[in-house]
Amino acid sequence: MMKLRNILLPAVLSLLGTAAFAQTGRAGIEIDYNAPKDYIVAGVDVEGSQYYGVQQIINLTGLQKGVVVTIPGEDISSMIERIWGQRLFEDVAMVVDSLSAGRDSVWLKICIKERPRVSRWTFSGVRSGEKKDLQERLNLRPGREYSDYIKTTSVDIIKRYYKEKGFQLCEVDVETQRDSVIKSAITVNFAVNRGQKVKIRDINFIGNEHVKDFKLARSMKKTKSNKIYNFFSSKKFNEKEYVNDKKTVVEAFNEAGYRDARLVRDSIYFVEPNRLGIDLQFEEGHKYYFRNITWTGNSVYPTETLNQILQIQKGDVYDRVTMNKRLFGGGKQTEYDISKLYRDNGYLFFQLTPVEMNIQNDSVDVEMRISEGKPATLNNIIINGNDLTSEKVVRRQVMTRPGYLFSQTDFERSIREIASLGQFDPEAITDPSKGYSIIPNQLNNTVDLIYNVTEKPSSQLELSGGWGGNTFVATAGVSFNNFSTQRFFDKSAWRPVPLGDAQNLSFRFQTNGQYYTALSASFMEPWLFGKKPTSLSLSGYYSKMTDSYLTIGILSTDKMYEVFGFNAGLGNRLKWPDNYFVLYNSLSWQTYRLTNWYNGYFMFNNGTSHNLSYTLSLSRNSTDQQIYPRQGSDFSFSLQLTPPYSLFRKHTFDAEGNRVDVASWKDVTYDNWTSQQRYKWIEYHKWKFSGAVYTKLIGDLVLMARAQFGYLGYYNRKWGYSPFEGFQVGGDGMTGYNTYGSEIIALRGYENYSLTPTVYSPYTGTTQYSGNVYDKFTVELRYPVILQPQSTIFVLGFLEGGNCWDDIRKFNPFQIKRAAGVGVRVFLPMIGLLGIDWGYGFDDKQNGGSQFHFLIGQQF
């Protein structure tokens, strides 16, 4: 058809040119078409031009004064064809306007009719988000000319867009209408009828005698049938992905040793309205096995080292897929491969080609041909897109430096560190198509690396009201997660505050009037002095609770509970065992002041306690990002210590309250001590462990498994457990207001603190919370709904269990309270993490059962 068009078009244009000259220009001008004649062009004019300049159109023909043309002839036909080829005009003709007196010079006129201009492009039958996507794909601007070519290509693009979404039967009508306001303009509307989504119901595999249907179905990444094991996968049919999946399904045969397997026939048909059936027929061929594997060209690493990584022995199934993964990568993140071995040591230009040397019966000999090349040195490290964040913030995260040898592991780690920074879109930086570029130069053995970051809002503003403790609590807070103290005195940087150095500055205030007030402030510098990954954190806080109840009109300060505190800490990234480890040291001071406080909270109601403690924390975080990690792990272990004051004491009190000296701390009894005497300086050692592992199952479906343990111990059994710093287990892990003195542990499916044991206190004559040991185990299945810089939304299902004890001697890790449920998480940069869960507690009829939990700014 294209050949026929190419033959007919010049012929038609030639006839059009001849027809044009068959007309006469001015009266008396006649052209003898049986006797072509050469003329000198004396001038050229254009008629009908409205949007294009006269000279612009003349330039398309190549005509100029003094040029000799043959009329009629091929010259004129080719000129008209060039104008037609611009697709800008509905009609084109060229006429002789006049001849010279000697009839050897000619004045020509180009007569055109321009295509209508489009004043407005509109869509109907589409959603707002789809409209934006279509506008970007079509790139149609007002004022553009309208043609059949634009109509056809636009309809094709729209149909392809909806076919990618599963609407295979999409129809598009193009409606044009004259614009009543703008002269010679039209409006164009694309009326879209998406129809219903076409989904796949059945995929039938034919001819696979030795490879199971399930394995073939799993190998097709984007083409899924309506089977139960594809519950979390999309069933829509995408023609482009279907072509790729036909290749991967053949690889499933190759993985089983059937190197000659091929797809003989495939057919797609409707089994019911909007439901497809797919038949795939294969020829398996024979099964093959590895025999001899040899290496050539390897001088850097011996054959034994390469064979250890390849892990293929003589007689193994001839699995080309696994072989290629161990040669070139593409397997699990923890698996090493030959290519990465070389690239980690600078051999970026390394090449490896496996060649089948001999195939005899069912055995295959393979020769691995290596071209090592020379090590590549890093040249330019380029960072693009950091419009707000200082470049030094990104550069200190990357492990690639100019002058270093290229390392694939360091490059991948740099991508991970940027994604985990919190200032940039983690999905964008990890996208190979736009997040980064590797530009090698084999002539001088160097390589340039480009990191394309995408800024996202990171500061958070909190203005909220909530119900807690039978009262309404108002909260106002702000967190600047990209603060810059270096630009503090730069007036131009205050918009509204200086940003760009990835420091954190936050303030938070909560109150409901006289009943409750809390104020906190914190600052964190991730790179102290800017040269080493040593973090500095400072925080201070104050909270006060009274016995006022606004709901019933009681204003009183007879009962009061106050907490003052300050914390300073230093964190260092370690090099051993690996550089994922961080060692954190902190020193904190707290003062608890109780005045006639209520029973049931702490071991005493009146008095002041001081808490001076040192915390040592070791953590390792290798997750790929913060908000929705897909792989990696996050482990932490901490030990918090106070001085063992009771071990230094050599006095006690008698029944009348008189001080009595004793020989040793072992002789001290606390039966006659008042709460103020006993707990003025509290003492304890607090051990905590938390470990979470993230495993990517299928696509973005992630399994998260977490275990937690906490123990608040004592130095002296006679002194006993600390009245503060214990654990309260159960519920959502939140209250309507923040308090200090205990650690809130969420366990969904149960009411708040309901799993916390209570013990009798002689100082209050009542029982109070006494959670000194806890454990907790969680398994979550997560799936994202939206992963965008503006918002991240994912749904989850969970199984959870845990418990709390008042004494380490009662601890039983198998005596847990179980729960299960579902939930959703929404992360908004300006607000933080929001969530709602429904959980069902199975093991406590009074406090368990069906429970809804809300959360702000934390994860379970």
Give the pair of three-digit tokens for residue 778: 């969680």
pLDDT over 90 (residue 619) = yes
Cα–Cα distance, 825 to 819 (Å, whole number):
19
622 DSSP 8-state letter:
-
Q: Are 417 and 398 in contact (CB under 8 A)?
A: yes
Alpha-helical runs (H) found in 399-453:
408-420, 426-429
Strand partners, 660: 652
CB atoms within 10 A of CB 464: 12
Cα–Cα distance, 94 to 80 (Å, whole number):
8
CB atoms within 10 A of CB 513: 14
Interval 669-688 mean pLDDT = 93
Lowest pLDDT segment from 220-234, 724-738, 793-807 = 724-738
Which class for 251: exposed (0-12), middle (13-18), buried (19 or more C-beta within 10 A)? middle
Report pLDDT digits (tens) over 798-842.
999 999 999 999 999 999 999 999 999 998 876 778 889 999 999
Q: Are 730 and 751 in contact (CB under 8 A)?
A: yes
Give the CA-trace dihedral at 375, 379, 385, 390, to 10 degrees.
120
Helix (H) or strand (E) holding 445: none
pLDDT over 70 (residue 4) = no
Q: What is the pLDDT of residue 260?
A: 95
Nearest to 347 by CA among 410, 413, 406: 406
Given strand 89-99, what is the order of strands in its sheet?
68-71, 37-47, 105-114, 89-99
Q: What is the pLDDT of residue 678?
A: 93
Could you give the 3-state DSSP secondary structure of residue 345? coil
Interval 390-418 mean pLDDT = 94
Confidence of residue 331 (pLDDT cuts 50, 70, 90): low
Report pLDDT digits (tens) over 14-73.
434 433 443 334 445 666 667 788 888 888 888 877 777 788 888 888 888 888 888 877
Confidence of residue 1 (pLDDT cuts 50, 70, 90): very low
User: Is the N-terminal amide bond of 36 cis, ω within 30° of 0?
Assistant: no
Report pLDDT digits (tens) over 564-594.
999 999 999 998 999 899 999 999 999 999 8
Interval 716-725 mean pLDDT = 92
Nearest to 504 by CA among 483, 475, 518: 483
Given strand 363-371, what is the order of strands in its sheet?
289-296, 363-371, 351-360
Q: What is the pLDDT of residue 557?
A: 67
Cα–Cα distance, 255 to 374 (Å, whole number):
33
pLDDT over 60 (residue 555) = no
Give the pair of three-digit tokens for residue 32: 């003898």
Q: For residue 355, is it left (φ>0), alpha (ψ between -120 and 50) or beta? A: beta
Report pLDDT digits (tens) over 89-147.
778 888 888 888 778 888 888 888 877 888 899 999 998 889 989 998 998 888 888 88
Nearest to 383 by CA among 374, 371, 395, 373: 395
Which class for 816: exposed (0-12), middle (13-18), buried (19 or more C-beta within 10 A)? middle
User: Is the N-terminal amide bond of 375 cis, ω within 30° of 0?
Assistant: no
Q: What is the pLDDT of residue 551?
A: 46
Q: Are 482 and 496 in contact (CB under 8 A)?
A: no
Confidence of residue 722 (pLDDT cuts 50, 70, 90): very high
Identity of the residue numbered 228: I
Q: What is the pLDDT of residue 108?
A: 87
% of the chain surpassing 90 pLDDT? 58
273 DSSP 8-state letter:
T
52 DSSP 8-state letter:
S
Q: Find all residues with CB under 8 Å of 855, minimum gap 6, and list them.
A: 732, 733, 734, 746, 833, 834, 835, 836, 837
Report pLDDT digits (tens) over 729-745.
998 876 544 456 789 89
Confidence of residue 332 (pLDDT cuts 50, 70, 90): low
Give the pair of three-digit tokens for residue 470: 């039978």
pLDDT over 80 (residue 697) = yes
Cα–Cα distance, 134 to 126 (Å, whole number):
9
CB atoms within 10 A of CB 366: 20
pTM over 0.85: no
Cα–Cα distance, 832 to 462 (Å, whole number):
9
Q: Are 630 and 696 in contact (CB under 8 A)?
A: yes
% of the chain surpassing 70 pLDDT? 91
Distances (CA, A) of 177 to 146, 183, 285, 444: 12, 12, 61, 61
Q: What is the pLDDT of residue 33?
A: 66
Cα–Cα distance, 442 to 446 (Å, whole number):
7
Nearest to 768 by CA among 654, 846, 675, 633: 675
